[in-house]
Amino acid sequence: MDLLQQEKEATQLLQRLAASRRELPMVQVSNPDQFKFDTPDGEKSLTDLFDGRKQLIIYHFMLGPGEHRGCVGCSFCMDHVPNLGHLRSRDTSFVAVATAPVSEISTYKEQMGWKFPFYSSAKTHRAWKEAEGKGETITWKPGNGYFGLSVFRKHDDCVFHTYDTTSRGMESILSTYHLLDMTPMGRQEVGNGMSNFRLHDEY
């Protein structure tokens, strides 16, 4: 089998996977407004993060209180966030969140030169832990303490959780990897694949 045929089959497989992902059952988030996020413009709820659009992608960034240097892997991922105008043209909002205070997040965001919304999810994590302690059923866990993406769909006044991914599932947004895959030396991965990289202002 020649390379071109393999590439065509891989492309078709990815298209089928994307279709299957869209067919996953949507789980309604009970009381989405209980999830609060601190932003430079004040407190917002999960519903507010949609910013009037039908879809929302949240990236869970590993930056805790007092950690003034963000996770290298998360920072690498966020360097690949596209021009949000393209996402917004498809009725989709994007937000990154971390448990650090919004003041520390804003400082790091400015250092890295990022333009996307980046908010504090500390209140959301506290609300989830309190609800869990009371034995309440929570239909969405706001991150697992690590990095990853959560996807939501809004219909009328209801918010639905539709998809989550983490670990190597994040590779789909990493154009650096896709470009390196076309080169003779490839990704040149060491360890977990991220250890060759630095924060982009450290090269």
Q: Give the whole-angstrom CA distance, residue 136 versus residue 124.
A: 15
Element (H, E) at 13: helix 3-22
Predicted pLDDT of residue 44: 96
The torsion angle over the Cα atoms of residues 167, 171, 173 and 179, rounded to 10 degrees, is 160
Q: What percent of the chain has pLDDT over 70?
A: 93
More confident residue, 130 or 55: 55
- Mean per-residue pLDDT for 134-160? 81
Q: What is the CATH number of domain 25-180?
A: 3.40.30.10
Mean pLDDT rounded to a whole number for the chain? 88
Confidence of residue 42 (pLDDT cuts 50, 70, 90): very high
More confident residue, 68 or 93: 93
CA distances from 163 to 52, 84, 140 (A): 20, 20, 10
Number of CB atoms found within 10 A of residue 144's CB: 10
- Mean per-residue pLDDT for 46-72? 94
Decide if pLDDT at 78 tops 90.
Answer: yes
pTM: 0.90
141 token code pair = 């866990």
